[in-house]
Structure 1
Amino acid sequence: MNEIAAEGLQTSDIDILFDQIMTDYGHDILQLTYSYVVNTALAEDLTQEIFVKCYHSLPKFEGRSSVKTWLWRIAINHCKDYLKSWHHRKVLLTYEKVPEAVSSYDTVERAVIRSEEDKNLIKAVLELPVKYREPIYLHYFEELSIKEIAMLTGIKNNTVKTRIRRATAMLKDSLGGS
């Protein structure tokens, strides 16, 4: 997506820009939100709320960062606010299966093994405390740099590195790796 400043745009231009943002980042924001709440229906609701916030904030977007970075910041803050909320602390969330995709060139055996390994890894990542799950997800699943994660989460680069290292160690322990 081209980097732009939304200040001074007409309502129709903002609507077009917003549609493009939803098209470009909708699925990614849903996945990010799911990584926080581990519940598909709740992730969908939070994603909708995030895009409502985005739409209302779009006229104030100045273009000092990329649209993606700006949107991710909104999403991360919204998810953290939800996790701190009374509703989250009083409602028990359950794990759900994450849909699997099998490419046509894989053999059945490889697909089954990979699917099982992926399920185990996803389950292990989702069982991490949020402060470790967040940098692992952003680094390995969204392929963000340490610097980008630090900027998005508001924590120092070294703290991000430490959390990724500790989360990796926790994952190795829970998955039985050495």
Structure 2
Amino acid sequence: MDREEKDFLLEKVMIEYGDELVRLAFSYLKDTETAKDIVQNTFIKCYKNVDSFRYDSQIKTWLYRITINECKDYLKSWNYKMVQVKNFINTTAKSISPSVEKTVIDKYNSEEIKVTVFSLPKVYREVVYLYYYDSLKTEEIAQVLDIPVNTVKTRLRRAKQRLKPMIKEAELNGR
């Protein structure tokens, strides 16, 4: 593939999948700017490695896999761990302020479901996100995560089982 074809392909996938990939990265990282950086890295890797792409799967599935791997690498990094410590310190210091409490309460209703999903363990959260938010089929999720289709189905079922009481509890508490 010559440079012009690679440029065209990159532009096409950036337009077509950019927002989806940012949402996917955000589901792992919970930070918009970092998610955008991760997706930028995904597109760089796509550009560099498109010649080795075998078309065994859709390019979308390949981009999802790259993005997820980039997110997992970032979450293991020293930089991420230091950011988490700083955020914890800042949050603890700010929690004394009543305006922060009010802000959290105001935002809670719109964020309730997202928070509930994000509270799931990663193995359940990622399949729920890919299935319900990105509308991937179980077969596509299996390819993206490199796991068997039945594992995807099991994780979806178990995630639903875990979410059901959490949502009922939130409703009972008047949230």
Coarse TM-score class (shorter-chain normalised): 0.7 to 0.9
State the distance in 2 between where 1:90 and 1:176 align: 36
State the distance in 1 between where 2:76 and 2:165 align: 28
For 1:112, the equivalent position in structure 2 comes to none
Compared with structure 1, are the counterparts of its residues 137 and 49 closer, same or farther at alpha carbon in structure 2 (3 Å cutoff)? same
Matched, 1:170 2:162: yes
For 1:97, the equivalent position in structure 2 comes to none
**TM-score, length basis structure 1:** 0.75
For 1:54, the equivalent position in structure 2 comes to 46
State the distance in 1 between where 2:82 and 2:124 align: 22
- Report the Cα offset of residue 118 of structure 1: 4.9
Greater CA drift, 46-55 or 131-140: 46-55
Alignment of 1:25-104 (within 5 A): 25-92=17-84
For 1:17, the equivalent position in structure 2 comes to 9
Q: Which runs of 5+ in 2 are unaligned?
A: 88-106
Pick the aligned partner of 2:131 from 124, 132, 139.
139
State the distance in 1 between where 2:136 and 2:110 align: 20
For 2:98, the equivalent position in structure 1 comes to none
Letter of the structure 2 residue corresponding to residue 87 of structure 1: N
- Give the paired residue count: 150
Indicate the structure whose relative CO is greater, using CA pairs within 8 Å and at least 6 residues apart: 1
Deviations 1:35-91 (A, max 9, x none): 111111211111111111111111222322211111111111211222233333443
What secondary structure is seen at the aligned counterpart in 1 of 2:127? helix
Deviations 1:78-124 (A, max 9, x none): 11222233333443186xxxxxxxxxxxxxxxxxxxx9765211111
Letter of the structure 2 residue corresponding to residue 63 of structure 1: Y
Compared with structure 1, are the counterparts of its residues 159 and 63 closer, same or farther at alpha carbon in structure 2 (3 Å cutoff)? closer
Stretches (4+) displaced over 3 A:
115-118
For 1:148, the equivalent position in structure 2 comes to 140
Matched, 1:161 2:153: yes
**TM-score, length basis structure 2:** 0.76
Q: Which runs of 5+ in 1 are unaligned?
A: 1-8, 95-114
Q: Percent identity?
A: 40
For 1:109, the equivalent position in structure 2 comes to none
